[in-house]
Every structure is written in structure tokens, then in C-alpha cells.
């Protein structure tokens, strides 16, 4: 095969919500570089739990980020969604072939998916017409991104080959265990587990109260077809998520309400 006929390597945009210094981002970018060329655009600081928030009413700053004294990527002084918008409109000359977001600290399963900046970056990608994937490692401590990065490359390769439906992303949650303890890969649905919030009250030096928001995950899932239950049993959970939030099952019943009367 001549150089002229050699297939073009895919171009992959890498983002996250843990910030440009997140080790999960570095592991994901290194893994994607084995598939093609990579551009990294990430928040300057951690923006976990931002969901699909955008920065309005104040300017965004784009800066070059250097790692080991070499150019590594760009930072954006905003949310993960801001990063995707800025990357596609002001950093890249053309749309990438794929957007990957992560690898996130902590799972993005069940109702937690709605809060995720990692997932939102991928959702913004498909809104902009680019196939997109989100990756999360189901731990907040002693994280080992080795297998998660390897699986991300596997899923990215298949996505580049096969494509995805319009407006659909894949959200993958990977257990934080050695590869030989992974039981398999399951195609799952979003579970029903949710957080029960609590706010810890403290006081500043002037006696004014302030609060740390926390919570406990209430488990409502009992089937391996549900993402949170699957990862708790050492399966990789891959969930297709769609931008269309319409409850199509309820539409016909809602029409019987006679709201036009």
C-alpha cells in the first residue's frame, strides 16, 4: 500500500470533568494515541457534578497546557460542555472522528448519570454531530486506570469502525479491579439507584453557617441488566444513552388529558 492510499488515522478529541491534571484523562489520552491522533481539551480545574452546565455571562479563557515541558493540550476556564463547544468552534479546524470523555473518578451509573460532567461532555459531542463515548472508573481511591484505558481503546476502535446511532452515546463504567477479576462486559440500562442527600453544617470564624453537601447511595437495582448492579458484581457496564428525554410511553396517555379543552 502506498503512502497516498494509506488510510487516514482517526482524530480523537479527549475531554473530562476532573480537570487537565486528572490521571484518568492522561491514561485515556495515552490509550487513544494508539488508535490515531489526539487533541486534549479539558477544564482548567475539576468540574465534577456539573452535568450539562455552560458558562454564560463571563468570558472563557483558553490556555495551552504543558506537561514535562512539552505541549500537551488546552485548558478551558469552564465546564466540560464548554470544553467541547470551544474545541469544536475555536481549537480544531474540523470535527474529530470521535470524542472520548474521562476516565472519570467514580461511577456514573443510575441516577448519578444525570449529574455527570463526564457524560455531559459526550452528550454535547453528539449534539454537535460527533460520535462520543464516556468512561468512568468505579472508585474514588486507589484508582488503577490500566484496564479501564485498555477497554476504552477497545470500545473506541469498535465505535470508529461501526458508528453510533444519531444522538446516542455509550457510557462505560469499569470496576476498579485487576483485569483477571473482570467477569465480562454487559450491555446495560440505566438503573434506579439514587443518592440520598445530606448536608453537614459547619461554621466559619464569624459564626455563620455553611454546608458540605454529601450523601449515601441508595441501591434500588437487583438485575445484571442495570448498570450499578453490574459494576458491583465486577462486570463492565456499557449503557447506550440518548439525548431524547421524551417519555414516549406516556405521550399517548398524556394526550387523553384533554388539555385543549
Q: Is 48 annotated as a binding residue?
A: yes
182 burial level (CB within 10 Å; 0-12, 13-18, 19+): middle
Residue 229: partners with Cβ closer than 8 Å, 6 or more residues away: 191, 219, 221, 222, 223
Q: Is 104 annotated as a binding residue?
A: yes
**Which is nearest to 76 in space by CA: 55, 52, 48?**
55
Q: Is 18 annotated as a binding residue?
A: yes
Map 112-149 to HEC letters.
HHHHCHHHHHHHHHHHCCCCEEEEEECCCCCCCCHHHH
Q: Is 132 annotated as a binding residue?
A: no
Quote the CA–CA distance of 166 and 185 in Å, as a whole number: 23
Quote the CA–CA distance of 26 and 101 in Å, as a whole number: 11
Which residue numbers belong to the known binding site for a divalent metal cation?
17-18, 48, 104
Which residue numbers belong to the known binding site?
17-18, 48, 104
Amino acid at each position: 500500500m502506498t503512502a497516498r492510499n494509506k488510510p487516514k488515522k482517526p482524530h480523537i478529541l479527549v475531554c473530562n470533568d476532573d480537570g487537565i491534571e486528572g490521571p484518568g484523562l492522561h491514561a485515556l489520552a495515552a490509550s487513544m494515541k494508539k488508535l490515531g491522533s489526539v487533541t486534549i481539551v479539558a477544564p482548567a480545574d475539576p468540574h465534577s457534578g456539573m452535568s450539562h452546565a455552560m458558562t454564560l455571562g463571563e468570558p472563557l479563557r483558553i490556555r495551552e497546557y504543558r506537561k514535562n515541558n512539552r505541549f500537551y493540550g488546552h485548558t478551558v476556564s469552564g465546564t466540560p460542555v464548554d470544553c467541547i463547544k470551544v474545541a469544536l468552534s475555536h481549537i480544531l479546524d474540523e470535527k474529530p472522528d470521535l470524542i472520548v470523555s474521562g476516565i472519570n473518578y467514580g461511577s456514573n451509573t443510575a441516577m448519578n448519570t444525570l449529574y455527570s460532567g463526564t457524560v455531559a461532555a459526550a452528550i454535547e459531542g453528539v449534539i454537535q454531530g460527533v460520535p462520543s463515548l464516556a468512561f468512568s472508573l468505579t472508585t474514588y481511591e486507589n484508582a488503577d486506570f490500566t484496564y479501564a484505558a485498555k477497554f476504552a481503546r477497545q470500545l473506541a476502535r469498535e465505535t470508529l469502525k461501526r458508528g453510533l446511532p444519531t444522538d446516542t452515546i455509550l457510557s462505560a463504567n469499569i470496576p476498579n479491579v485487576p483485569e483477571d477479576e473482570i467477569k465480562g462486559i454487559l450491555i446495560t440500562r440505566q438503573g434506579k439507584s439514587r443518592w440520598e442527600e445530606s448536608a453537614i453544617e459547619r461554621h466559619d470564624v464569624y459564626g455563620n453557617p455553611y454546608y458540605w453537601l454529601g450523601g449515601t447511595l441508595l441501591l434500588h437495582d437487583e438485575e445484571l441488566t442495570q448498570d450499578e448492579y453490574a459494576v458491583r458484581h465486577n462486570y463492565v457496564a456499557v449503557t447506550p444513552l440518548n439525548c431524547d428525554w421524551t417519555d414516549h410511553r406516556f405521550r399517548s396517555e398524556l394526550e387523553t388529558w384533554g388539555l385543549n379543552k
